[in-house]
Each structure stands twice: as structure tokens, then as C-alpha cells.
């Protein structure tokens, strides 16, 4: 038997305490440098038309590293959809104006004034309550009135109504500052931003300016999908702000849906790594009477004979649409999963996978949205 020296014990302790801290999978790996570079590229495009950027971080909850990276790369505002996230960003000391981009709830009014610098609005009743709270707290809060140009999510639909609302905010609501107007497209109605619909936003802005007798500071012409207009050189000149999330953080929509190549944006700022926990040759058709799976579906299976399949330690609890993941290894096929497992077919892979191997996936918006909030998924910055 070998004698254990003090040195061995010391080394063992170091291993146990800090030297080798095992990574726990699954891992959502976040490359801040790629987020930075994407922000720079979008910023260059926007700078060409004097358009400021609100970096929208809702997809990454209130992750301050993302907000800080966007700010370092030149975003003028940080926006998100939920007040709880705004509150956390405020407490983390973010030094740019915080924009609440979901129309506030009346019940949130006090904390909207407390934590957000700017909010997007469409309801007089809510604006009235915001003003009351702003008076109570001795603050001036900036509001952007939202106009619905046909996407049919938030916003005032009627031009005269929004002009009237703007005039009312300007003249009657002492502690709200009418910062500007904005619109959102491509969300519910999946409506394409065009010179015509964004042009209508700009016409309305001019009418409001005539009514209140001054210029509006912000004309916010939409989200990532509006970058297509910019790229085509068709963005109406009056637009001076965009609210960009997906185009910086995921950068897939413009290329894969709109077929626009914008400055080689990185599509892998966020990737997923999951570990193989079982790997075996099994039949591809379940044995016995097929009934109902864990999610109340009655599935169908194609019988492809015996195939090599791997089981990964990640599942629908971590990301709802696990079967739409996009593996780095193009020969991997995702065949299904349950709450805690993802099953992949590796029969056609050149790589001989084994237990303990790490499988990597590209991600889209919906995946990141779930993974980021999942406590059982480790977030690692590289
Ligand atoms: C989500 C959202 C954005 C950002 O959209 P992306 O497509 O991620 O750029 C902008 N504005 C509003 C109101 C939003 O809800």
C-alpha cells in the first residue's frame, strides 16, 4: 500500500475545493463577445441613418451581462417587457435609460414610475395612473405612445385618437413627458414593415408635432424586422429609434425567414450543451400497444429497424420545443423526448458517440426564452 503524504492530501483538498469544479450539464453557453460584435454590426447599420437602438433583453430575462454588453457596444437604451426584469436591471446598476416595452398594467403604475425611465403606452386610463404616481414620487416619466399599424397587438389604431391622446398627455399630464411615438410589427399579425406602414407612423408624428408645437424626441419604428427596411435603404427618414432583441442575440430571423444577410451576424452567441446518459441500439418502433405519451399525445412511429440512439439529460421541462433543436452534428436526428430526456438517433453519425459525451445545439429565440429561466440549466459565459 502506498503511503499518502501530506502533499497528496493537500492536492486532494485543492481538487475537492476549487481546482476542479465539475461543470454540471446541461449548459447554456453564452458568448458575450459575439453579442458585442452583433450589437456593433447592428449599430453600424443604424448609425448610417442616425437611428438609436434600444437593446431588448427580454429573451434573456434580466441578465445584466447582456445589458452591459449591449451598452458597451453602443445601445442607448435597454428595454424589456416585464417590470420585474426592469426592477432587477435597475438594482444591478445599469446606467442607460430603462424602457418598459410591454404596455404597463395599472396595478404596476407605482413601480413603473419607480424603476423604468420610459414606458410604451396605449391607454388613457393607464397614462392617468402613471401621471398620478409620477406626481406622488416627484418624478417626470417619459412615455412613447404606441400606434397599431395593422399587426393588431398593442397600440392605438385610429390616427385621430392617438393625436388626441398625445395632445392630452402634453397639456394635461404634468409629470409625464411625451417622448415620442412608436409601433410594433411582425409579432401577432406577422405584418411586414414597409415604407407605407412605417410612413404612416411618420405622418402621424408630424401631425402630433404640429398639434403640440414641438418636435417629438423619439420615433420608434419597430423591432428586428424593421432592419430589413434599413438594409434596403427604405426606412422613412423620420424614424430615429429601433428596439432590437432577436437581431442582436439570436440573429436568425433576418437571414432564415426574411432572407436578408445583414453583416454576417453570429448565430451562435447562445448554444446548448447536453450530456449523453445512455447510448444503445434499440428498435425504432416501441414494443407493445401505443397509447398516450407523457404529454397526452398519441404519437406515431416509423419502423426503421434497429437504430443507435442516445439519451440526453435534458427535456421538455428545460425547453418546451426540444424537438426543434438544431444539432451541430447534422447527422443527428431528434426523435423525441419527455420532461427530463431527449432521445436522439445517432445511427448515421460519423462520430462514435459514447456515454458522457457532450452534444451541442444551435438555438433559436423560443429555445433561449425557456432555457434562460430554467434553474436546472447552467448558464456559462465564455
Ligand atoms: C419583443 C419586442 C421588441 C424586440 O423584438 P425583436 O424581434 O426581438 O427585435 C421590440 N418591441 C416590442 C414592443 C417588443 O415586444
Length of the chain measured in residues? 382
Cα of 66 to ligand 1 centre, how many Å? 16
CA dist., res. 242 & res. 47, Å (int)? 11
pLDDT in the model for residue 2: 44
CA of 316 to the centre of ligand 1 (A): 25
Question: Among the atoms of ligand 1, which is closest to the Cα of residue 81?
Answer: 15
Distance between start and end Cα atoms, the chain? 43
Three-state secondary structure readout of 38-66: HHHHHHHHHHCCCCEEEEECHHHCCCHHH
Q: For residue 150, what is the DSSP state?
A: S
Residue 280 Cα to chain centre, angstroms: 37
Of 12-16, 161-165, 282-286, give the range with the top mean pLDDT. Answer: 161-165
- Residue ranges, comma separated, of all CATH 3.20.20.10 domains in the chain are 32-253
Atom of ligand 1 nearest to the CA of 154: 13
What is the rounded radius of gyration, in angstroms, for the C-alpha atoms of the chain?
25
- Res. 292 pLDDT band, cuts 50 70 90: confident
Q: How many CA atoms lie within 13 A of 129 on its CB side?
A: 16
Counting ligand 1 atoms within 8 A of each CB, the residue from 223, 225, 366 with the most, and so the one to mutate, is 223
Q: CA-CA distance, 90 to 88, in Å (whole number)?
A: 5
- Report the nearest-CA residue for atom 13 of ligand 1: 101
The secondary element (H helix, E strand) that includes residue 8 is: helix 6-14
Helix (H/G/I), strand (E/B), else coil: 169: helix
**In this predicted structure, which of 167-176, 238-247, 256-265, 321-330 has the lowest mean pLDDT?**
256-265
Distance (Å, rounded) from C-alpha 158 to C-alpha 31?
43
Query: Which of 18-27, 81-90, 107-116, 321-330 shows the lowest per-residue confidence on average (mean pLDDT)?
Result: 18-27
- Dihedral of CA atoms 71, 92, 368, 223 in degrees, nearest 10, equals -40
Q: Indicate the helix (H) or strand (E) that contains 361.
A: strand 358-362
Where exactly does CATH 2.40.30 map onto the chain? 270-381
* 102 Cα–ligand 1 center, Å: 9
Contacts of 370 (CB under 8 A, 6+ apart): 318, 319, 320
Which CATH number is associated with domain 32-253?
3.20.20.10
187 pLDDT more than 60: yes
Range 270-381: architecture per CATH: Beta Barrel (2.40)
Crossing angle of the two packed helices 124-137 and 159-172, in degrees rounded to 10: 20
Annotated active-site positions, please? 58
Report CA(373)–ligand 1 centroid distance (Å): 18
Report pLDDT digits (tens) over 127-157: 999 999 999 999 999 999 999 999 899 999 9
Round to whole Å and give the CA distance between 352 and 349: 7
- Give the number of the atom of ligand 1 that is nearest the alpha carbon of residue 120: 13
Look at residues 29, 92, 60, 21 and name the one whose alpha carbon lies nearest to residue 381. Answer: 29
- Of ligand 1's listed atoms, the one at least distance from the Cα of 225 is 7
Asked, as a colleague might, if the bond just before 214 is cis with ω within 30 of 0, I would say no
Distance 350 CA to ligand 1 centre (A): 40
Q: What is the pLDDT of residues 223-281, one digit of tens each?
A: 999 999 999 999 999 999 999 999 999 998 877 877 777 768 999 999 999 999 999 99
Indicate the pairing of strand 333-337 with strand 342-345. Answer: antiparallel
Any residues with Cβ below 6 Å from ligand 1, and which? Answer: 56, 58, 81, 101, 184, 223-224, 243-247
Amino acid at each position: 500500500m502506498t503511503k499518502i503524504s501530506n502533499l497528496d492530501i493537500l492536492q486532494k483538498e485543492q481538487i475537492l475545493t476549487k481546482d476542479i469544479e465539475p461543470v454540471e450539464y446541461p449548459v447554456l453557453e453564452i458568448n458575450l463577445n459575439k453579442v458585442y460584435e452583433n450589437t456593433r454590426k447592428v449599430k453600424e447599420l443604424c448609425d448610417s441613418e442616425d437611428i438609436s437602438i434600444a437593446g431588448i433583453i427580454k429573451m434573456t430575462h434580466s441578465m445584466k451581462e447582456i445589458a452591459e454588453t449591449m451598452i458597451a457596444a453602443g445601445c442607448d437604451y435597454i428595454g424589456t417587457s416585464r417590470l420585474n426584469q426592469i426592477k432587477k436591471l435597475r438594482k444591478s446598476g445599469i446606467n442607460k435609460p430603462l424602457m418598459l416595452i410591454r404596455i404597463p398594467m395599472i396595478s404596476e403604475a407605482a413601480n413603473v414610475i419607480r424603476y423604468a425611465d420610459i414606458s410604451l403606452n396605449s391607454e388613457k386610463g393607464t397614462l392617468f395612473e402613471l401621471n398620478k404616481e409620477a406626481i406622488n414620487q416627484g418624478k417626470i416619466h417619459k412615455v412613447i405612445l404606441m400606434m397599431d399599424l395593422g399587426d393588431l397587438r398593442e397600440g392605438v389604431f385610429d390616427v385621430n385618437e392617438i393625436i388626441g391622446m398625445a395632445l392630452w398627455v402634453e397639456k394635461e399630464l404634468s409629470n409625464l413627458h411625451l417622448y415620442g411615438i412608436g409601433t410594433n410589427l411582425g409579432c401577432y399579425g406577422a405584418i411586414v414593415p414597409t415604407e407605407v406602414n412605417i410612413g404612416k407612423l411618420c405622418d402621424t408624428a408630424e401631425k402630433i408635432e404640429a398639434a403640440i408645437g414641438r418636435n417629438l424626441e423619439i420615433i420608434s419604428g419597430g423591432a428586428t424586422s424593421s432592419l430589413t427596411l434599413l438594409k434596403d435603404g427604405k426606412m422613412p427618414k423620420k424614424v430615429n429609434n429601433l428596439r432590437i432583441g432577436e437581431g442582436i442575440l439570436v440573429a436568425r430571423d433576418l437571414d432564415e425567414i426574411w432572407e436578408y444577410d445583414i453583416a454576417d451576424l453570429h448565430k451562435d452567441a447562445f448554444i446548448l450543451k447536453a450530456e449523453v446518459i445512455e447510448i444503445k441500439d434499440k428498435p425504432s418502433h416501441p414494443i407493445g400497444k401505443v397509447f398516450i405519451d407523457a404529454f397526452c399525445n398519441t404519437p406515431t412511429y416509423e419502423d426503421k429497424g434497429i437504430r443507435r440512439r442516445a439519451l440526453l439529460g435534458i427535456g421538455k421541462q428545460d425547453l418546451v420545443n426540444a424537438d426543434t433543436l438544431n444539432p451541430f452534428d447534422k447527422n443527428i436526428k431528434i426523435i423525441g423526448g419527455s420532461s427530463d430526456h431527449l432521445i436522439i438517433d445517432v445511427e448515421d453519425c460519423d462520430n462514435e458517440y459514447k456515454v458522457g459525451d457532450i452534444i451541442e445545439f444551435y438555438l433559436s429565440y423560443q429555445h433561449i426564452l425557456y432555457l434562460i429561466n430554467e434553474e436546472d440549466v447552467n448558464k456559462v459565459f465564455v
